[in-house]
Amino acid sequence: MANPSTSTPTLTIGIDLGDRFSYYCVLDADGAILEQSRLSTVPLAFVKRFGKTKPARIVIEAGTNQPWVADCLEEAGHEVLVANAGKLRFIFMNDNKSDREDAELLARVARVDPLLLSPIQHRTKKTRAHLSILRARKCLVTSRTQLINHVRGSMKSFGIRLLKCSTPSFAKRMLEEIPEELRPALVPLLTMIQTHSADIRKYERQLETLAKEQYPVTDLLRQVNGVGPLTSLAYILTLEDHRRFKDSRSVGAYLGLRPKRDQSGKHDPELRITKAGDGNLRSMLVQSAQYILGPFGKDSDLRTFGLAIAARGSKVAKRKAVIAVARKLSVLLHSLWRTGEVYEPLRNTSPESATPAIVTAAS
């Protein structure tokens, strides 16, 4: 969990989760192996094996099966640590790697110092269910984009360059421009695009209702120009609890919006952002940043900050401006959520000093 106990537990159990079978290793307080075995990766098997075991510290790796396994173990009264698999290089680079060996290594690290596992927050069932709606919408948006790109590419190969139009109206407008020889191939795709657009609108209405009725705190975040119901809801569901972060500035790093660092002696190169954390929320924050810096963005400290970076003139500077604003936006939203304050867009900038500009950049 986010704040694991630092005391040495009586029992420490490491579980290497697999799709069919999971291997586990049980250590006592002195680190001696009490049991090593495997069980089927199904809820009944976990309840039967760990349901009556005295409370222990159990560590599992983040993955597809991790949520329900963590729920099952927590309901049985155990302290559950969800290890960040990307931080456990000593496990996946082990020259004697096996499922049994991985389970033992997880248990030994958790027994000595759980913070070495970089434990991640285990979300509740309710939060995961609502996040699934956001991710389902994202899946449809991605699929629709691929279909549109395929239609445009197919038409271009026949010498037809399609005019720009909005995504929702694409299928209707393109239906009239498809040549007869391409209609058998592309008309079914246009039908799919229309269906996707209708389903996406249904998801968006569902999410807006969800934000209004069950997450009214999203109104605090929507005070910021450029942050809509979907972005604010994604932010609340992804972070789940603002108390996880003692300092609002750490949210930007959590979402992968800080630069990587490889400093050694005088060597300290400027690197790209880490792109850690939830990619969907990071993408939404970048889109919000682009809006803030674009032609429809209202004057604010965020806009002034970003335009100062973009004023350097290069394309790289404009991309950096978008990322920098997205990072500051993530910090601002956490601060508003934590304090419940009324947002003042020009707290540090006088209206006279705000200068209009347009910034377009990809994430």
Question: Are the C-beta atoms of 236 and 337 separated by less than 8 Å?
Answer: yes
Question: Residue 29 belongs to a domain with what CATH number?
Answer: 3.30.420.40
Cα–Cα distance, 346 to 14 (Å, whole number) = 51
Count the domains in the chain. Answer: 3
Cα–Cα distance, 93 to 89 (Å, whole number) = 6
Cα–Cα distance, 257 to 328 (Å, whole number) = 9
Phi first, then psi: what are they for 165, rounded to 5°? Answer: -160, 165
CB atoms inside a 10 Å sphere around CB 357: 17
What is the separation of C-alpha 95 from the centre of its chain, rounded to a whole number of angstroms? 32
Residues 156, 79 share a domain = no
The mean pLDDT value for 4-32 works out to 89
Question: Are the C-beta atoms of 334 and 297 separated by less than 8 Å?
Answer: no
Task: For 265-304, write each residue's pLDDT tens digit.
Answer: 777 787 888 888 899 999 999 999 999 999 999 999 999 9
Residue 313 vs residue 12, higher pLDDT: 12
Residues 164, 112 share a domain = no
Residues 193, 226 share a domain = no
Task: For 87-133, write each residue's pLDDT tens digit.
Answer: 777 777 777 788 999 999 999 999 989 888 888 888 899 999 999 99
* HSE-up of residue 135 (Cα within 13 Å, Cβ side): 10
Q: Identify the band that residue 66 occupies on the pLDDT scale cut at 50, 70 and 90.
A: very high
Please check the confidence at residue 352 and state whether its pLDDT lies above 60. no
Task: For 221-252, write each residue's pLDDT tens digit.
Answer: 999 999 999 999 999 999 999 999 989 999 99
Q: Is residue 192 part of a domain?
A: yes
Q: Is residue 7 part of a domain?
A: no
What's the pLDDT score for residue 349? 66
For residue 47, give both structure tokens: 């309840």
Residues 305, 194 share a domain = no
Residues 334, 239 share a domain = yes
